[in-house]
Amino acid sequence: MDTQREGKELELLEQTIVHNLLYLLKTKRLSISDFARQINVPRGTINNIINKKVLAPTIPLIHKMANFFEITIDQLVKHKLSDQSYFYIASNGIPDGYISKIPVLNWDDAHQTIQNIMTTDKRLEFKDWLDLGKLISENSVLFAMRSKSSYEPKFPSNAFLIFARNVAPADNHYVLVNDQNKGKISLMQYFYDGNNEYISPLHEGKKSLFEPEHTAFLGVLSFVKLELN
């Protein structure tokens, strides 16, 4: 009798894990290969779990999967997730189609890594993320950069500058500019007089004609978020 009960419990556990794993992969828009690579396990291991070729994953693997999806072990193995339940019980509380975290880029290599934010697989390679504290559409291609002391008092040094990648600048907007001649990224102010485009370094007030053959816009400043210590 106990053996039958244990068998049913294991079967239920197996069904729940498989259901949740498939649901979470769909929600995160991850392939089995991508997921296996992210948690550093063989692809065949994940395939065996989904195809029910093993009774249940090992305890260390369950821990690893729950941590990756930012849910508790109980949520992974005991409760079948759905669009409604996942919205309420996932630790990040993110429904499908929305995000709350964006990558933080470094000033030194942003001109090289910025293209990665446009690709889902490449976005996973970023190590530093900023929690916005609110939901935004996953179609909003945002990224963050830490402000510099040289940008004070206009922008506090303990602030994150949030840029939109897929937005065109308008007159008086602040923009992130890549000067290809100098190999330098900087924050500038953008001006448009109806005919010509100009950019000006912060605090200097000196406008120069925007030259797209030498200078590229990497993003438009969307808002500023203070870093709380």
Which CATH number goes with the domain that contains 78? 1.10.260.40
Q: What is the pLDDT of residues 162-183, one digit of tens each?
A: 888 877 888 888 999 888 777 7
> Of 38-42, 150-154, 221-225, which has the strongest mean pLDDT?
38-42
Residues 61, 76 contacting (CB under 8 angstroms)? no
Residues 140 and 216 in one domain: yes
Residues 10 and 74 in one domain: yes
- DSSP class of residue 214? T
Indicate whether 171 and 78 sit together in one domain.
no
* Mean pLDDT computed over every residue of the chain: 77
Neighbours of 128 (CB within 10 A): 10
Residue 137 structural domain? 98-226
Say how many C-beta atoms besides its own lie within 10 A of residue 66's C-beta: 19
Whether 65 and 175 share a structural domain = no
Q: Of 57, 89, 121, which one is at a domain's C-terminal end?
A: 89
Distance, CA of 27 to CA of 22 (rounded, Å): 9
pLDDT at 96: 47
In this structure, the answer to whether residues 121 and 216 fall within a common structural domain is yes
Q: Examine the domain organization and report whether 209 and 121 are in the same domain.
A: yes
- Rounded-to-integer distance, Cα 72 and Cα 30, Å: 19
Contact 32, 50 (CB under 8 A): yes
Q: What is the DSSP letter of 124?
A: T
- Percent of the chain exceeding pLDDT 90 equals 4
The domain total for the chain is 2
200 and 109 share a domain?
yes
Residues 45 and 61 sit within 8 Å (Cβ to Cβ) = yes
- Under DSSP, the state recorded for 141 is -
pLDDT greater at residue 210 or residue 139: 210
Residues 81 and 114 in one domain: no
Two tokens, residue 1: 């009798």
- Per-residue pLDDT reduced to its tens digit, 151-162: 888 888 888 998
Q: Are residues 103 and 192 in the same domain?
A: yes
Cα-Cα-Cα-Cα torsion 69, 74, 76, 80, nearest 10 degrees, comes to: -130
Does 117 lie in the same domain as 141? yes
